[in-house]
Amino acid sequence: MPNVVNIAQKFALFDELWSPRIAGELNDSYVKLAKIKGEFVWHHHENEDELFLVIKGRLLIQLRDQDLWLEEGEFLIIPRGVEHRPVAEEEVHILLLEPKSTQHTGNVVDEDLTQTEHKWV
């Protein structure tokens, strides 16, 4: 059955940074919520596009040839194969829409950031 999801309530259930939580499934994709602050690793996803929607705060997505700023309520789709790095000067809340096969840090394994276990919220 369909369930109404309150995004603010879901964000209140966790505090960890750079640790996306699954809030729903759509076909072969996950709807993930994440709190981020600081710099992530440069990476790309070989086979998957990735959607970033800013729920709270201001997010910088660095590409090798440009910087893209996202404000609250804005989203950006990073096409597969495009190297990128999310950066958040202050804590930012984002919603990610990505295929279930998407690896957290893409083509890079970082012992501090890479997650292999998917947690639900």
pLDDT one-digit tens code per residue, 19-56: 999 999 999 999 999 999 999 999 999 999 999 999 99
- Asked if 61 and 53 count as a contact pair (C-beta separation under 8 A), the reply is no
Three-class secondary structure of residue 93 per DSSP: strand
Q: Is the pLDDT of residue 1 over 90?
A: no
- Asked if 36 and 61 count as a contact pair (C-beta separation under 8 A), the reply is no
7-120: what CATH class? mainly beta
So where are the chain's domains?
Answer: 7-120
Positions of E strands within the chain: 21-26, 29-39, 50-56, 59-63, 67-70, 75-78, 84-99, 119-120
Pairwise CA distance, residues 5 & 87, whole Å: 27
pLDDT of the residue at 106: 59
pLDDT band at 85 (very low <50, low <70, confident <90, very high): very high
Structure tokens at 69: 């700023």
